[in-house]
Structure 1
C-alpha cells in the first residue's frame, strides 16, 4: 500500500512537472511570436494567425516563417476557390466579370508562388553560406511576387462602376490574404537576416 502511494506521488509530480514544462515552452513560444510579430505591418493579425502553431514554432525564426507561409498559402487557396465561385455568378456586369477573371488569374499565381516558397523553405534543411542565400532569395522573390499579385487583384476592382457586394466580398478576402502574406514576407526577411552565415 505504501509503495503504491509513493508511485502515485511520483506519477503526479512527473505529470505536474511535464505540464509545467509544456506550459513554459508554450508561453515562451507565444511570447516569441508576439515579439516577432511586432516587426510586421499587421502585428495583431500576425499573432492571431500564428498562435495556434506555438508548439511547432517554439522559438525558431525558421519555423515561424514556415508557419506564416503555411497560413498565407491556406488563405490564398481558400480565396482562390471563393473567387472561382464568384466568377460563376449569374447577372454579373461585364466589368465585374472581367475584374473577377483577372483576379482569378492573380490568385492562381499567388497560390503557385506561395506554394513554391513554402516548399523551398521546407527543403532548405541546414543550408549554409551561398546555398542559404540562394534558397532564401527564391523564397523572398516568390512571396514578394505573390503580394504584388494580390494587390493587383484588389486594384482591378477600383472605380465606382464596380461598387457592390461582389467587389466588397472579394476585396475583403484578398486584402486579408495580402496582409498575412505581407507578414510572412517580413518574417521570412527577419529569418534571412538573422541567419546569414
Structure 2
C-alpha cells in the first residue's frame, strides 16, 4: 500500500499562500513607489493596484498597463460624449461644444492606441532604437493629454453652465489624470535606458 504525505499538504499550501502574498505585496509596493513620480499619485495607485499581479515589478509592464488603462478610459469617454450628441433639446452652442469634444477625444484615443501598440511592438530593444520608439510614445501621449484638455475649451464661459458641462468636465478630468499618470510612467521607463 502506498504511503501518502497528506500531513505535508497543508504546510505546502500554506507556504505557497504566504509566498503569493509576499509577491503581491512587493508588486503593490512597486506600484506605490512608482506612482510617487506622477502628478496624481492617489489616482495612479488606485487605478493600477488591481493589475499588480500582471505588473509585478516591471517598469515596462507598469507603463504598458497605465497606457492601456488610459486608452480604455478615453474610449469610454468617447462613447459617453457620442451619446451626448443624441440628446434632444441641445442648444446650438452645446451641440457644437460636444461635437468638438468628440473630435478631440477621438484624436486622444487614436494617439493613445498608437502609443500602446508602439510600446508593445518595440520589444526589449535598447539604445537609439529604443529611445526613438520611446520618443514616439511620449509625443503621442503628450498630444493625447492636450486633446483631452482641449475638449473642455468649448465648454468655457457661463453660457454652458449645467449638467452637461459638469458631467463632461468630471469625466475628462478623470481621463486626463490617468493619461497624465501614464505619461509620467512612460517618462520614468524612458529614463531607465
2:58 to 36, 57, 60: 60
Q: Equivalent residues in 2 for 1:119-158 (5 A)?
A: 119-158=117-156
Q: Deviations over 1:78-117 (max 9, x none)?
A: 0100000001101111111110000000011011111110
Instruction: Name the SS for the 1:3 alignment partner.
Output: coil
TM-score normalised according to structure 2 size: 0.97
| Partner Cα separation in structure 1 for residue 102 and residue 51 of structure 2 | 29
Aligned to 1:96: 94
Q: Following TM superposition, by how much is the alpha carbon of 1:20 offset from its aligned partner in structure 2, in angstroms?
A: 1.1
| Partner Cα separation in structure 2 for residue 9 and residue 32 of structure 1 | 36
- Root-mean-square deviation (CA, aligned residues, Å) is 1.2
Q: Following TM superposition, by how much is the alpha carbon of 1:137 offset from its aligned partner in structure 2, in angstroms?
A: 0.6
Q: Deviations over 1:158-195 (max 9, x none)?
A: 1000100011111111110000000000000000001x
Q: Following TM superposition, by how much is the alpha carbon of 1:136 offset from its aligned partner in structure 2, in angstroms?
A: 0.4
Q: Following TM superposition, by how much is the alpha carbon of 1:9 offset from its aligned partner in structure 2, in angstroms?
A: 2.4
TM-score normalised according to structure 1 size: 0.95
Unpaired runs of 5+ in structure 2?
A: none
| Partner Cα separation in structure 2 for residue 138 and residue 130 of structure 1 | 12
Aligned to 2:106: 108
Give aligned pairs, total.
193
